[in-house]
């Protein structure tokens, strides 16, 4: 995990227009500035088509939002892990709530990420799924209760037991996995609460992407972990 340090803030751009195309590059530049100013590791997960422009503009870690567990060849419309790596991403989300996979496919996808030199962040909706994911030996697990995603109600405050329960169970199975949490995080104090629950970072989307002043909010996040 040489390219990612904890505490880690990973910003998922999803398919928000505020984080698409030129807006994606602008947001990436803001994140890079904050990362340089605070020395907090901030990563970005833009849409596939924005990976090249972002990774050639900024030097902070870029992740894909998904990869397919396929090899090079005849797989029209699929996302080849090596292509994502070559585009400049250093990692990928896997099994996001908005892009769910079967366990068998999560397993193959984590392996393919490893083979192609990508860090894997497997998303889990609860501690049970987090534990299953831990056995697959990904680099990171992000626990996100889907019902809180995009609500502005922070998981670290609304469901602290889901976060701490996932930390306990995952670390018992695989102490090397870095655990993030996400859903509804909009303030620095939510990020601090997440770390107090034993996580080593957060996965966030609308709290930054839809913020009126993304610089201010992301700076508040970064300052809350230093």
Q: Which residues are catalytic?
A: 96, 144
Integer Rg of the chain from CA: 16
Q: Which is nearer to ligand G3P, 138 or 184 (CB)?
A: 184
- Is-contact 205 14, C-beta < 8 A? yes
Is 204 among the residues that bind ligand G3P (CB under 6 A)? yes
Q: Does 130 bind ligand G3P (CB under 6 A)?
A: no
Instruction: Please identify which residue in 184, 191, 193, 217 interacts with ligand G3P, judged by CB under 6 A.
Output: 184
Of 225, 204, 222, nearest to 35 (Cα)? 222
Stretch that binds ligand G3P, among 32-40, 52-60, 79-87, 180-188 (CB under 6 A): 180-188
Residue with smaller CB distance to ligand G3P, 166 or 206? 206
Residue among 151, 150, 178, 148 nearest 162 (CA)? 148
Q: Partners of 123 in the beta sheet?
A: 142
Q: How many chain residues bind ligand G3P (CB under 6 A)?
A: 14
Q: Residues 24, 183, 193, 197: which binds ligand G3P (CB under 6 A)?
A: 183
Give residues 8-27 in contact with ligand G3P (rule: CB under 6 A): 12
Would you count residue 46 as binding ligand G3P (CB under 6 A)? no
Near ligand G3P in 139-168, by CB under 6 A: 144, 149-150
Q: Does 214 bind ligand G3P (CB under 6 A)?
A: no
Q: How far apart are CA 193 and CA 218, in angstroms?
A: 16
What angle (nearest 5°) sits at the alpha carbon of residue 128, between those of residues 125 and 130? 60
* Beta carbon of residue 101, minimum distance to ligand G3P (angstroms, whole number): 15
Only one of the segments 66-74, 105-113, 171-179, 202-210 lies at the binding site for ligand G3P (rule: CB under 6 A); that segment is 202-210
**Which lies closer to ligand G3P via its Cβ, residue 50 or residue 144?**
144
Q: Which is nearer to ligand G3P, 27 or 185 (CB)?
A: 185
- Long-range contacts made by residues 188-194, C-beta under 8 angstroms, separation at least 24? 188/220, 188/221, 188/223, 188/224, 189/224, 190/154, 190/156, 190/157, 191/9, 191/156, 191/221, 191/224, 191/225, 192/224, 192/225, 193/154, 193/156, 193/157, 193/160, 194/154, 194/155, 194/156, 194/163
Residue ranges in contact with ligand G3P by CB under 6 A: 12, 96, 144, 149-150, 182-185, 203-207
């Amino acid at each position: 995990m040489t390219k990612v340090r904890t505490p880690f803030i990973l910003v998922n751009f999803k398919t928000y227009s505020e984080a698409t195309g030129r807006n994606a590059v602008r947001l990436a530049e803001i994140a890079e500035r904050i990362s340089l100013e605070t020395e907090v590791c901030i990563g970005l997960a833009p849409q596939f088509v924005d990976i090249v422009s972002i990774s050639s503009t900024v030097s902070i870690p870029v992740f894909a939002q998904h990869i397919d567990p396929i090899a090079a060849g005849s797989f029209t419309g699929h996302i080849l892990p090596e292509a994502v790596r070559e585009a400049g991403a250093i990692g990928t989300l896997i099994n996001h709530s908005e892009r769910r996979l079967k366990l068998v496919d999560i397993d193959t996808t984590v392996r393919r990420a490893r083979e192609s030199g990508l860090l894997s962040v497997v998303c889990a909706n609860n501690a049970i799924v987090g534990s299953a994911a831990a056995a697959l030996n990904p680099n990171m697990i992000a626990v996100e209760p889907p019902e809180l995603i995009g609500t502005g109600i922070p998981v670290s405050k609304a469901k602290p037991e889901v976060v701490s329960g996932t930390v306990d169970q995952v670390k018992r199975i695989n102490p090397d996995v870095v655990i993030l949490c996400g859903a509804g995080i909009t303030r620095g104090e939510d990020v601090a609460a997440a770390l107090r629950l034993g996580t080593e970072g957060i996965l966030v989307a609308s709290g930054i992407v839809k913020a009126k002043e993304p610089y201010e909010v992301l700076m508040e996040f970064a300052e809350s972990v230093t």
